[in-house]
Amino acid sequence: MNYDWILDRGYLPQVVIQYGIRRQLQDRIRTIHSTSLEETYKTKMQYVKALRERPMAIETKTANTQHYEVGTGVLQACLGPRMKYSCCLYPTGKETLGQAEVEMLEQYVERAQLVDGMKILDLGCGWGSGALYFAEIFPNAKITAFSNSSTQKAYIDEQANSKGLSNLKVITGDVVDYEFEKEAFDRVVSIELFEHMKNYELLMAKISRALKPGGKLFVHIFTHKTTPYDFEEGLDEYAFLYWGYDAEYGSATLFPTRAQVARPVVGEWEALC
């Protein structure tokens, strides 16, 4: 039986929901800790094999109705000034949300080795936190923002217009069936989109085709450090802002190696995590 409507309509007090989430997390941690290393490794390898046999992503439309097309105003009421719909960085713990957004964006610039003049694809751009920031600080760069939400595009276009940015274009499409221009980008930067994906091999082959020779992919993904698992119905949904039916809590070692992905494609890539 599905009890989502009780949660969705706000009948349960926050404290009860938090208790439920904590219980569920404790169960998960107990299962992980009580499993032998050998068993964990075996399960993970089975999971990796299963991912390779799955489509690139599932239920892509459900994620849109659950959060990406709920209306920009709803998200504006919750997010920081840059509308960053992903983790922020609090180096001292005293930062405001707006400062923490910028702290994280600065880290991306450093870790993804972004410099002015590059062609950069922000894959899974949300409301443009990354794309608008890169366009602002790199006036000679060409930024392409990509997501499957037309309300996100409308918001980013409006912001770019009001800031006078002409080096940013926004494309709306589903990464599953969209094919990017070949060898077009120096960098692909993807902030919390990979959680929506299942078959990384297909996704990274697609990204590889879009990168110029020597281009690099930077990925920010939230993961469990050892144990990947699929989203499960129930309070999992509330554990991360009602995350989504398509989601996966991966682990970094799920990414295929360069050799595995690069074989069938032209060009080279390097993953920066």
Comparison of 218 and 269: residue with beta carbon closer to ligand SAM: 218
Comparison of 69 and 268: residue with beta carbon closer to ligand SAM: 69
Comparison of 170 and 261: residue with beta carbon closer to ligand SAM: 170
Contact between 217 and ligand SAM by CB under 6 A: the answer reads: no
Window contacting ligand SAM (CB under 6 A); options: 13-21, 186-194, 202-210, 262-270 = 186-194
Minimum CB separation of residue 243 from ligand SAM in Å reads 9
User: Which 155-174 residues touch ligand SAM, going by CB under 6 A?
Assistant: 174
Contact between 125 and ligand SAM by CB under 6 A: the answer reads: yes
Question: Cβ of 109: how many Cβ atoms within 10 Å?
Answer: 17
User: Which 81-120 residues touch ligand SAM, going by CB under 6 A?
Assistant: 84-86
Contact between 176 and ligand SAM by CB under 6 A: the answer reads: yes
Comparison of 84 and 187: residue with beta carbon closer to ligand SAM: 84
Chain positions contacting ligand SAM, by CB under 6 A:
57, 60, 63, 68, 84-86, 124-126, 129-130, 147-149, 152, 174-176, 191-193, 196
